[in-house]
Chains A and B, each alone.
Chain A
Amino acid sequence: MAYNGKMFMEIIKTKGLVKDYELGKIKVRALNGVDLSIETGEFVAIMGPSGSGKSTLMHIIGCLDSPTEGDYYLDGTLVSKMRRNELAAIRNAKIGFVFQSFNLLPHLNILKNVELPLMYAGIAGKKRSLRAREILDSVGLSDRLRHKPGELSGGQRQRVAIARAIVNNPSIVLADEPTGNLDSTSGGDILEIFEQLHSLGNTVIMVTHDAAVAARADRIIQIHDGKIEDGD
């Protein structure tokens, strides 16, 4: 698996991550000193009950949000101090999101949906379309390019979302309850795709509260009350 010289390198490293929210006048600490290390090519599940801080952690890992305190290194770069625009560029280049509710743009066809990250990367139309078709082909949707998301089943939609997540060759694929809105069959299909991605050397991080889903990962990180519990 020495595919890019990053073998066993830390793709994600956090030190003392703290995240505070203000809910009215009350200050809520969602993360309370998270130290985390994930290596290139790992398939990790982050587990925890609702309110445990796993969503907040995922937002910070996904560069959608910044920690109140602490450092976060993504692929060797300190991103916790970056500004909005820099974070947008990092998200575009290094992170592929898969959401529970798919989050496809309903009025764009699936080809355009998959092209979206490439568009924001500044890749020209033709090259974009070619790359998006290639990826959609690999998730078995090459016959649905002109369909709108609303015309697809849940499982198909999530496959489009995965295609969109990996079209930019990101450093990590970040999935938030990816099977939460799916029946067990299509959920199983989706998990299989993640396993495939993992076997091809991708780093996959999955946030879930479902133990059966988490069990498919190589490693499970338990989070509770904003802290990582030992025992992995």
Chain B
Amino acid sequence: MAISLAESLHIGLADIATRKVRTAVTLFGIVLGVMSIMVVLAIVNGMNAVTLDWMQQRGGLNKIEIEPNWSYDYSRGGEATLSIREVDYLRSQLEGVEAFNPQVMSWGSIVQYRDQDFDASTFGVYPDLQKVEDWGLEKGRFINLEDIRNHNNVIVLGSTVAKSLFGNRNPLGQYVTLNKQQLMVIGVLQSKYWKNQGGGAFSGNVLEYMNRQAFVPLSTMIAKINPNLDITSVEIKVLSDEDISKIRRQIEGVLLNIKGGKDLFRVSSAKEEMQMMQKNMMIFSVIFFLIAVISLLVGGIVITNIMLASVKERTREIGVRMAVGARGKDILIQFLVQTMLITTLGGVFGILAGLSVLNVVQDFLDITVKAAPNMVWVALLVSASTGLMFGIGPAYKASKLDPVKALMED
């Protein structure tokens, strides 16, 4: 015999319409709370999207890097270098690998073209570099296996290197000098661009260093240009990022084997690194979220107070409703539904307000914020449950009123 939910909704809406100012006051805290939740979620969402984008720019999530382990105690002996034979052995031990690029690097090598020179980072690489870095060509071709086999004197330039040396002229087919070796330019790589968050000192193109790189075949580098160089890093791209942890551990095992149990290398996967980054950002999310929750708590306490006042003010009405047959449950639902209606309404306004300030937040903090559809559901759920949490007390109190006393109330 209980009254239906639709009936309670109807009563609730009618009450809200009658008490507009009070409803507006009650709403305010919830609107602010939900608004800040929306903004927080959008910021977190934006940070995650940016991190993912950064990872994609750096060659995607299914990338594994082998680098010297800087925390290794080198007094124990051993060097963090790999020979071609060791690299080939490592490659032969791995399955599910899409691309494999061992590389040597030479800092501050001067690339010369006629009277122009450029202080570039030059690398000796395998053809797979392109796949590993997900790096397209602007013109020409990249190093191929033929170049590796024949120790060809060829070079591929980063966009800034090409621009500095050749200006608007076409570099393809021209010869540059690197450490007294004449090298033919066979390709120019696409410019890499990625802008950092928040402006400040690092607001420029963070990937510009890549545009200042130049690439020659690994064999040419070691045999002709700089015989002292050793392979110190390997970049690997796996076919599926689901296997990435497994393959990373496999690589660690092979390297330990080769190096007689010395952990000379650090093996890291992009996916795990991103998870780490997201974990690190979680602390910000948690702090932001706590702030939002606190404002909702304050809003909730205001609601409890206003609803308690409302129950007191409407004691006689409650008595009348009980006299004509309302049960405690009916009264409880009536007040609870009304509170939840108010907070949900506040939630809707909060969502709208949150969405409308996102752009302001984005411009003001110079960070990427990104709304997602599920944020709306989270915000609605949060506002409705705030109503439930902070409305249940006053509603319960109303439902337990003694009808005789309630009817005598002024």
Contact = CB atoms under 8 A, between A and B. Distances in A.
Interface of A: 59, 62, 64-65, 84-85, 88-89, 91-93, 97, 99, 103-105, 107-108, 116-117, 119-122, 164, 168
A164 B15 CA distance: 21
A96 to B, nearest CB: 8
Contacts of A88: 322, 325-328
B9 to A, nearest CB: 13
B316 A122 contact: no
A108 B322 CA distance: 16
Contact of A103 (B7, B18, B407): B407
A107 B22 CA distance: 15
Contacts of A59: 404
Contact of B325 (A84, A104, A105, A117): A117
B52 interface: no
B404 A65 contact: yes
A88 B326 CA distance: 6
A84 B402 CA distance: 9
B60 interface: no
B403 A89 contact: no
A70 B331 CA distance: 30
B329 A120 contact: no
A117 B324 CA distance: 5
Interface-centre pick from B2, B320, B324, B404 (highest chain A CB count, 10 A): B324
Chain B interface size range: 20 to 34
A43 B227 CA distance: 121
Given A85-B328, A92-B325, A164-B324, A64 B3 contact: no
Contacts of A122: 1-4
27 contacts: A64-B323, A64-B403, A65-B402, A84-B328, A85-B329, A88-B325, A88-B327, A91-B322, A91-B324, A91-B325, A92-B324, A97-B323, A103-B316, A103-B319, A103-B323, A103-B407, A105-B317, A105-B321, A117-B325, A120-B1, A120-B327, A120-B330, A122-B1, A122-B2, A122-B3, A122-B4, A168-B325
A65 B329 CA distance: 18
B31 to A, nearest CB: 25
A105 B327 contact: no
Nearest to B330: A120
B1 A121 contact: yes
Name the 10 nearest CB pairs between A and B, nearest first.
Answer: A92-B325, A120-B325, A117-B324, A88-B327, A107-B18, A64-B403, A103-B320, A85-B327, A122-B1, A64-B404
A99 B2 contact: no
B15 A107 contact: yes
Contacts of A117: 324-325
A89 B18 CA distance: 29
Given A91-B325, A119-B7, 4 more contacts: A59-B404, A85-B329, A105-B317, A120-B327
B14 interface: yes
A124 to B, nearest CB: 9
A117 B316 CA distance: 16
Interface in B304-344: 316-317, 319-330
A118 B15 CA distance: 20
Contacts of A64: 322-323, 403-404, 407
Contacts of A91: 322-325
A65 B327 CA distance: 14
Interface string B7-33: 100000011001000000000000000
A152 to B, nearest CB: 16
Nearest to A62: B323
Contacts of B329: 85
A121 B324 CA distance: 9
Contacts of A164: 324
A75 B341 CA distance: 41
A84 B7 CA distance: 22
Interface in B392-410: 402-404, 407
Interface-centre pick from B7, B322, B330 (highest chain A CB count, 10 A): B322
Nearest to B19: A107
B21 to A, nearest CB: 14
Contacts of A120: 1, 3, 321, 324-327, 330
A177 to B, nearest CB: 13
Nearest to B4: A122
Contact of A97 (B18, B324, B330): B324
